[in-house]
Amino acid sequence: MLHTLRYHSTNCFFVASARDKRLLALDAGWACTLREYQRAMKQIGLRYQDMAWAIVTHFHMDHAGLITDFMADGIQCIVFENQLHAIDAMEKTIWKNQPDYRAIDKSKLTQLRVAEAREFFATLGIRGEILRTDGHSPDSISFLSDEHEVVIGDLYPIEAVMPDDEKSNRSWELILAKGGKHIFPSHANAFTV
Ligand SMILES: [Zn+2]
């Protein structure tokens, strides 16, 4: 079961390990908002101290802004093969408004291949996998749990995708083919397909 955290018009999600209840964070919030993020976690009954791992649906400032803070607190942050290149552009954007933002130390990220994600999650006590869903941006991924929940990041809702938007249509075909059912977008309410 996914936990949803809402703050600053963005949803972040958590999956608890079946083994030890530690949390995998799906998305890492806005830059320079750690206190608010922690407060929002408390409000939904979760403890920041229980967070052990984090992945992001894509490297935009409202989804991956707290990675540096997470790593400083010992949280293992995972990056997939299509994501590493997107970090610099995100950070340039953040610095325009947040000069205090500290860059992600890329050498401290755990690099993982999308194809290896299921096996990796299993070692954490989490059942699910990662899908390459690059409708929103080349670095976008979705998390699909074995309970058919899908965290899609900023992929357009299925009914809003234009017929000629091949990448978004392919992303949805993949989600449906893999059995995705309960869809959790970052900036809208969850829905079922
Ligand atoms: Zn967003």
Q: Which residues contact 160 (CB under 8 A, 6 or more apart)?
A: none
User: Which of these, 126, 147, 133, lies nearest to 185 by C-alpha position?
Assistant: 133
Give 72-117 pLDDT, tens digit per residue.
999 999 999 999 999 999 999 999 999 999 999 999 999 999 999 9
State what percent of residues in the chain have pLDDT above 70. Answer: 100
Measured in Å, residue 116 CA sits from the centre of ligand 1 at 25
Q: Give the per-residue pLDDT at 164.
A: 94
Measured in Å, residue 74 CA sits from the centre of ligand 1 at 25
Give me the residue spans of the domains in the chain.
2-192
Q: How far apart are CA 136 and CA 155, in angstroms?
A: 5
Measured in Å, residue 53 CA sits from the centre of ligand 1 at 20
Q: Give the per-residue pLDDT at 97.
A: 93
Measured in Å, residue 127 CA sits from the centre of ligand 1 at 25
State what percent of residues in the chain have pLDDT above 90. Answer: 96
Measured in Å, residue 93 CA sits from the centre of ligand 1 at 13
User: Which of these, 53, 72, 57, lies nearest to 123 by C-alpha position?
Assistant: 53
Strand partners, 24: 15, 53
Measured in Å, residue 152 CA sits from the centre of ligand 1 at 10
Instruction: Tell me yes or no: is domain 2-192 CATH 3.60.15.10.
Output: yes
pLDDT at 1 over 90: no
Q: What is the pTM of this model?
A: 0.96
**Phi then psi for 100, rounded to 5 degrees?**
-80, -10
